[in-house]
Amino acid sequence: MSTSRDPDAPQPPAAAPEAGAGAEAASAAGAEQLALIREEVRAARKRRKAAPSAARLPVARVAVDKALSHLDQYFDYSVPARLDAEAVPGARVRVRFGGHVEDGRRTGGSLVDGFVVERLAASDYPGPLAPLRQVLSPEPVLSPELLRLSRAVADRYAGTLADVLQLAVPPRHGRAEAEPSPEPRPAPPAPEPGGWARYAHGESFLRALAAGEAPRAVWTALPGPGWPGELARAVAATLASGRGALVLLPDGRSLERVDAALRALLGGGLHVALTAELGPEERYRRWLAVSRGAVRAVLGTRAAMFAPVRDLGLVAIWDDGDASHSEQRAPQPHARDVLLLRAADAGAAALVGGHVVTVEAAQLVHSGWARPLAADRAVLRAAAPLVRTVGDRDLAQDAAARTARLPTLAWRTARDALERGPVLVQVPRRGYVPRLGCARCRESARCGRCHGPLEARSADGLLHCAWCGRPEAGWSCPECGSTRTRAVVVGAKRTAEELGRAFPHVPVRTSGRTTGREGVLATVPDRPALIVATPGAEPVVESSELGGAGSAGGSAGGYAAALLLDGWALLGRPDLRAGEEALRRWLAASALVRPASEGGTVVVIAEPGLRPVQALVRWDPAGHAALELAERQELGFPPVARMASVTGRRDAVADLMSLIRLPEGAEVLGPVPAPAPAPGAGAQPAAHAPAGAPAGAEQPWERVLIRVPLGRGAALATALKAARAASLARAGRGARAATPPVRLRMDPPDIG
DNA sequence: AGCACGCCGACT
DNA sequence: GTCGGCGTGCTC
């Protein structure tokens, strides 16, 4: 690293004498020379100290890139005159941080990166200011809006600004930065409504976007291949109003579909896609084009949630229930929340869409913040496939199901559909945690006090609550009164092979991370085949418009049928969202099937009486979400309450909990034993104790859940942050080094 | 995280 | 009397 721009860097004096050799070095002459050198160095330092500061606004307030939880604050530095022009607000700088004062001058410390937050005429810091060492680039990458957003996200998630800035500002790439960004293109004309005409308020939503207004909607997308086009038109309408748009997709495949739709609508040059696949240089190039205002529309995966779109007019998220919208790095913000913060800050429109409606989205409607955007029942019926169920009673009477593992109805449906086109078979992924349910009716077994899930944890044979840890001695099913439980889990490893045997003359292909050797397929041709896919990896059927094997009748395209075989595995997950998640995956697969009018049929192997199954049969995701929301309200579950988890070694958790000043109405659940996180999973790698460490050093991990009423989430985050800072400050150095810090998580997704 | 300051035991 | 142990606190 060049030090030419660093005046304080230790440098040899200009006429450094050669080191004396042998005994002569210790002579009086040598000592005299050393003193002379020392004098020279001091004089040089003085000369450098005289380096003038900038005349105007000589102070730079800097957000230092050090994720110390008790140091979440700005630091002021003086701006040397030579850096005056470059040290603009938002610029990346390098400063010396953490040194000490030695006869009036600063030594030691390490160079850290940071961002200039603002330039000031004077600092309120009483001590002498250290100078900025280097301006890495005058590019103002941290705009005031991005800083405001990062601050808000840090506060909401009990994280530090430094952590969020790591997510919000991509690493610099010199070559990309040196290039000019393309000329901004003129705004396109407002688009025709297209598929939005199928929705009750679709056209008015699009008109409002084009008119520069800020409508907010929870969009229940119709089944079929139309939704990428609808998103593209929403973007185009926003661009037409002279504003920018940001659309987040859960994965690269869905992003490519929207990208293609937008290209078909507007041509290229008006938008960019931001995904991890691009690599750092190209990603930074595109990010800069957005930051500089050269491109006003962004399609991206979750890391693009911070994309610095200018004059933000619309934020949109597709399939907000998909787990990949949740950032894995601290402080683990959720893309939906970040987008909603941005919409509120910028006065932008918001579109939360998917085939399913999440409870969080339903709450946006319930609170009046957003309006529902859905099609009338008649339109929906014309677009949706027929959904049929196979429940336990059907299975019990079905000898074929026991041997072939494929119920008769499913087999017949597939056989008939294979005459007309491809058939999708959705099978569960492996690795789901078994959960306890009623042995008779499979209702999930929950704690009588806090409604957490019960688990058979220890050898004492008792059931324990996974949330509050209370043993549940006399559980009985609230539905049917049975007192027996059983693990509710299904494996379907050999589904593909078994199907192959059931349909010997049909090609079988697989799509999925773990399932097949082909990996995840984006598309499959529109011809008879069995496509076995895990949830989220379902390929789209290629459009048969241009030749191909399509029928002459002008088919809408899609699978002729889908078999959803993973019902129990999905519903049996130890998760609050199991029902919503099952419905989400079923709807995602079913939305790829042709309408019932063209013979499209879905068979789901699940009890027809269950709420998500009924919602699938009636294709009523909004109704399902409303019921879920009402139930969460009753039980005090998120998102009606806000929750946080505190995970760490027993002492560390106990210490933090003893220091925290909880907001009013807070409820502490636990602690309960928790698995020690994998080293790579969290922010910091867990320090391994040396082999000879005393046995007491290896403390078990525990987790506490804290639940507060809606509206106290911010207070809870603040309290957690303060408690962690106090805990870190109190812990001795040795203790701090030996114990990995507690992990705080707002809105934990995996609370059972 | 580094790094220095500060206040108590064995040494030239 | 000092050298140095690491407990405690600060870093613009």
Give the model confidence (pLDDT) of A22-58 as tens digits.
333 334 444 445 444 544 444 444 444 447 888 899 9
Flag the least confident range among A280-294, A442-456, A700-714.
A442-456
Is the model's pLDDT at A211 over the cut of 80?
yes
* C1’ C2 / CA A494, Å: 78
Cis peptide before A673 (omega within 30 of 0): no
* C1’ B8 / CA A106, Å: 30
* C1’ B4 / CA A110, Å: 15
- Helices A578-590, A621-635: axis angle to 10 degrees equals 170
Q: Residue A427: what pLDDT?
A: 81
Beta carbons within 10 angstroms of residue A287's beta carbon: 26
Please check whether residue A236 is in contact with residue A265, taking contact to mean a CB–CB distance below 8 angstroms.
yes
User: Can you name the residues that pair with A412 across neighbouring β-strands?
Assistant: none
- A369-421 residue pLDDT tens: 999 999 999 999 999 999 999 877 776 677 665 544 567 888 899 999 999 99
Sign of CA dihedral A393, A394, A395, A396: positive
Flag the least confident range among A208-217, A247-256, A334-343, A507-516.
A507-516
pLDDT interval class at A118 (50, 70, 90): very high
Strand B proximity list, CB < 7 Å? A 68, 71, 98-100, 102, 107-110, 733, 736-737
According to the 3-state scheme, what is the secondary structure of A42-81?
A: HHHHHHHHCCCECCCCCEEEEEECCCCHHHCCEEEEECEH
* C1’ B1 / CA A547, Å: 65
Give me the percent of chain A exceeding a pLDDT of 70. Answer: 78
Amino acid in the structure at residue A300: G
CA distance A199 to A380: 9
pLDDT interval class at A694 (50, 70, 90): very low
Is the model's pLDDT at A547 over the cut of 50?
no
Chain C nucleotides near the protein (CB, 7 A): 6-12
CA distance A464 to A450: 12
Instruction: Identify which of A226-240, A405-419, A657-671 has the greatest average pLDDT.
Output: A226-240
CA distance A39 to A33: 10
Give me the percent of chain A exceeding a pLDDT of 90. Answer: 58
* C1’ B12 / CA A149, Å: 62
Please check whether residue A156 is in contact with residue A714, taking contact to mean a CB–CB distance below 8 angstroms.
yes
- A2-12 residue pLDDT tens: 333 333 333 32
* C1’ C11 / CA A98, Å: 4
CA distance A448 to A465: 9
- A47-96 residue pLDDT tens: 444 478 888 999 999 999 876 666 788 999 999 999 999 999 999 999 99
Flag the least confident range among A86-90, A93-97, A557-561, A606-610.
A606-610
pLDDT interval class at A734 (50, 70, 90): low
Q: Residue A737: what pLDDT?
A: 57
Q: Residue A689: what pLDDT?
A: 36
Amino acid in the structure at residue A562: A
Q: C-alpha distances in angstroms, A98 versus A71, A113, A125, A130, A133? A: 12, 13, 15, 11, 14
Chain B nucleotides near the protein (CB, 7 A): 1-5
Strand C proximity list, CB < 7 Å? A 68, 70-71, 74-78, 95-99, 106, 109, 123, 125, 127, 129-130, 729, 732-734
Q: What is the mean pLDDT of residues A718-726?
A: 87
Amino acid in the structure at residue A109: G
For nucleotide B1, the protein residue with its alpha carbon nearest to C1' is: A68
Flag the least confident range among A247-256, A512-521, A587-596.
A512-521
Q: Residue A495: what pLDDT?
A: 64
Is the model's pLDDT at A101 over the cut of 80?
no
Q: Residue A457: what pLDDT?
A: 62
- Nearest alpha-carbon partner for A603 in A559, A565, A557: A565
For nucleotide C10, the protein residue with its alpha carbon nearest to C1' is: A98
- Give the pTM: 0.85
- A241-297 residue pLDDT tens: 999 999 999 999 999 999 999 999 999 899 999 999 999 999 999 999 999 999 999
- Nearest alpha-carbon partner for A75 in A101, A42, A98: A98
Q: Residue A472: what pLDDT?
A: 84
Please check whether residue A62 is in contact with residue A115, taking contact to mean a CB–CB distance below 8 angstroms.
yes
According to the 3-state scheme, what is the secondary structure of A147-210?
A: HHHHHHHHHHCCCCHHHHHHHHCCCCCHHHHHCCCCCCCCCCCCCCCHHHHHCCCHHHHHHHHH
- Nearest alpha-carbon partner for A301 in A279, A273, A321: A273
CA distance A91 to A137: 6
* C1’ C6 / CA A734, Å: 9
Flag the least confident range among A404-413, A489-498, A697-706.
A489-498
Q: What is the mean pLDDT of residues A626-644?
A: 94
Q: C-alpha distances in angstroms, A679 versus A654, A688, A693, A720, A742? A: 22, 9, 19, 23, 14
Is the model's pLDDT at A487 over the cut of 70?
no
pLDDT interval class at A481 (50, 70, 90): confident
Q: Residue A17: what pLDDT?
A: 29
- Nearest alpha-carbon partner for A470 in A484, A485, A486, A455: A455
3-state helix, strand, coil in chain A (%, to 5): 35, 20, 45
For nucleotide B5, the protein residue with its alpha carbon nearest to C1' is: A100
CA distance A340 to A361: 11
Q: What is the three-class DSSP state of A364? A: helix
Q: C-alpha distances in angstroms, A681 versus A315, A440, A468, A575, A738? A: 29, 38, 24, 20, 19
Q: What is the mean pLDDT of residues A655-677?
A: 90
CA distance A608 to A708: 35
CA distance A166 to A170: 7
Please check whether residue A196 is in contact with residue A202, taking contact to mean a CB–CB distance below 8 angstroms.
yes
Angle CA(A472)–CA(A475)–CA(A476) in degrees, nearest 5? 165
